[in-house]
Structure 1
Amino acid sequence: MRHRLRSAVVGLVLTTLALASATARAEKIQIGCTATSDCASAMVAVDEGIFKKHGLDAEMVLIGINSNIPAAILSNSIQIGGPTSTVFLQAADGGLDLVAVSGASIMNKTSNDAIAAFVRNGITINGPQDFKGKKVGAPGIGAFLQVLFVKWLVEKGVDPKSVNFVEVTFPTMADTIKSGGVDAVLTAEPFVMRMTNANLGTVGARYAAELARTEPIIFYAASREWAEKNPETVKKFRAAIAEAAPIVNNDREKASAAIAKFTKQPLELVKLTTPNSAEPVLKPEQLAWWVDVMSAQKMLQSKLDLKKLILD
């Protein structure tokens, strides 16, 4: 009896030491994203212990404006970030040596229907022409929502220069609209529903639905130097994201809980909106449309080699 007890104690101690050792060996990384569902695969990987399972001690960091993510990556404030396709390409065009390490989210009918130009009370928008002379808030100049909106304006025959764009973070959009600081904001669910329910205004345009694209919205990126020095960490990160993506797409409860926790939005509100589709696979040709659109908007000055921008 005493022998069995001693063996059990020894076994418990060894198990505890093994778990402690595994925790100690876990590589610490910080992942920066804005308050949207586009990085839901990373949020779920944190919440469900998937990163830990793959040997990573990962922490999610909330970034106010997407265009700040490349600088945060290069300063090593975060090791991996979730820039929009447009922010990433503009940063690469500007000489920042970033590389995509995994896909995060893509456009589809659900995500496109969730995007809107939300207009404050007292402003009437009957068509694209009515945005002329208006002050429009975007979650980053050159960010995904703003570039799409400019593309939509051009297709509708409206000069984008006739619109005054300013930066407004997602968490401050409701207050900015309420105070009259802007005439409209470029946003998405659940922010649209939240502002609608608060009687702050109405949807002026569902511009992404009209464009109906299927390209990447956000993907995970790192500095090339960090990614090349840490190939095993990147491998573990990719494996964790690939495991978490199906949960985002198929388990609404777990996905909503993770999104609400990170974005600090009410869980019941988050549950009302389907998360943007998670897609861990990213190919160079998926960025070609973005390059064409951004070049037309004179956002890119150089010819980017898309194959070099995605880590093998």
Structure 2
Amino acid sequence: MTKWTVAALLATLAVTGTAHAQTKLQIGCTATTDCASAMVAVDEGIFKKHGLDAEMIPIGINSNIPAAILSGSIQIGGPTSTVFLQAADGGLDLVAVAGATVMSPTSNANITAFVRNGITIKEPKDFIGKKVGAPGLGAFLHVLFVKWLVDKGVDPRKVNFVEVTFPTMPDIIKSGGVDAVLTAEPTVSRMLATGSGSIGARYASELERTEPIIFYAASREWAEKNPDTVRKFRAAIAEGAAIVNSDKDKTSAAIAKFTKQTIELVKASPPNKSEPVLKPEQLAWWIDVMSSQKMLETRLDLNKLILK
């Protein structure tokens, strides 16, 4: 073998190695079904097919995701619409790169105000004076509930809101620590099974909204420096979303693996609808609602919130 043949072979190997190199990507999400499209894309090898060595990183509290993105511990995260908009309003230069989940009749029906035994809720005004636990003040479920109260003519300032995490809801409802909690499946079914209370309102169903619940975001600096990675991520998420919306078995397996829940529990509740395409107008309603609740101090530019 001549030196020219060896050189040519080495050059070919170098090009082949580069072509098959996988770009590392860390995606941070809470233990929720709303990042199912990314979970499926990891589990089914879709990210790898697109040249991405993607890893799902569990984040305990959704409001910690913007900080994790900016610190570089993750490149892409799945904040809720409210967390993302509050972060952007606070001056954090984040940008949405793809859609994750949107509200739908199915997901809205899973959201409830669950009331402990001994408390009677017949209409919205019955929540006045009650102690209501929310999984984060200003979080997705809390903002929706306040919107519902306002639409029903109830002053939300007359409701005593406190923070209660999802894992502690069954115990605090049973002990009478709060009168009601804003929650969703599978927590609702767990509490119904123990006979600790009843459903006081399916407020999300009454609102009938279809806006985003969670979407994938990154720092603007990272996204603009890595357009090829963003393109590959979007393509993989689109494939993952199609599976989430059509194949419950594959989706449940991926969710159970990431959230560390039993497959039986995951299958008991359908995943929220995945919608990989995110449009500026989909955030307009959230901005209006949050502004009316004095949660935003600046006028956010819709066209700058989503990476083109």
Q: TM-score, normalised by structure 1?
A: 0.89
**In 2, distance between residues paired with 1:54 and 1:140?**
36
Question: For residue 267 of structure 1, what is the aligned residue in structure 2?
Answer: 263
Runs of 4+ in 1 over 4 A off after TM superposition: 20-24
Question: For residue 223 of structure 1, what is the aligned residue in structure 2?
Answer: 219
Question: For residue 13 of structure 1, what is the aligned residue in structure 2?
Answer: none
Structure 2 stretches of 5 or more lacking a match? 1-12
**In 2, distance between residues paired with 1:178 and 1:21?**
59
Helix, strand or coil for the counterpart of 2:98? strand
Percent identity between the two aligned chains? 78
**In 1, distance between residues paired with 2:194 and 2:45?**
36
Question: For residue 112 of structure 1, what is the aligned residue in structure 2?
Answer: 108
Task: Tell me the CA shift for residue 260 of structure 1.
Answer: 1.7
Alignment pair present for 1:127 and 2:123: yes
- Residue of structure 2 aligned with 1:254, choices 236, 246, 250: 250
Helix, strand or coil for the counterpart of 2:288? helix
Q: Give the partner amino acid of 1:81.
A: G
Q: Which moved more, 1:199-208 or 1:237-246?
A: 199-208
Task: Tell me the CA shift for residue 59 of structure 1.
Answer: 1.8
Question: For residue 162 of structure 2, what is the aligned residue in structure 1?
Answer: 166
Q: Give the partner amino acid of 1:52.
A: K
Distance 1:122 1:28, change over 3 A: farther
Question: For residue 90 of structure 2, what is the aligned residue in structure 1?
Answer: 94
Q: Give the partner amino acid of 1:50.
A: I
CA displacement, residues 256-303 of structure 1 (integer Å, 9 cap, x when unaligned): 111122222221121121110000000001111111111111111111
Question: For residue 206 of structure 1, what is the aligned residue in structure 2?
Answer: 202
**In 2, distance between residues paired with 1:303 and 1:131?**
32
Alignment pair present for 1:143 and 2:139: yes
Helix, strand or coil for the counterpart of 2:214? strand
CA displacement, residues 119-141 of structure 1 (integer Å, 9 cap, x when unaligned): 22333222212222222222222
Distance 1:178 1:305, change over 3 A: same
**In 2, distance between residues paired with 1:153 and 1:295?**
16
**In 1, distance between residues paired with 2:206 and 2:237?**
30
CA displacement, residues 136-192 of structure 1 (integer Å, 9 cap, x when unaligned): 222222121111000001111111112222333333332333343332221111221
Question: For residue 6 of structure 1, what is the aligned residue in structure 2?
Answer: none
Q: Contact (CA 8 Å) 1:35, 1:171: kept in 2 or not? A: no
**In 2, distance between residues paired with 1:205 and 1:295?**
24
Q: Give the partner amino acid of 2:150.
A: V
**In 2, distance between residues paired with 1:162 and 1:169?**
22
Q: Between Structure 1 and Structure 2, how many residues are aligned? A: 295
Q: TM-score, normalised by structure 2?
A: 0.90
Q: Which moved more, 1:104-113 or 1:189-198?
A: 189-198
Alignment pair present for 1:154 and 2:164: no
- Residue of structure 2 aligned with 1:296, choices 265, 284, 292: 292
- Residue of structure 1 aligned with 2:239, choices 233, 238, 243: 243
Q: Contact (CA 8 Å) 1:65, 1:169: kept in 2 or not? A: no
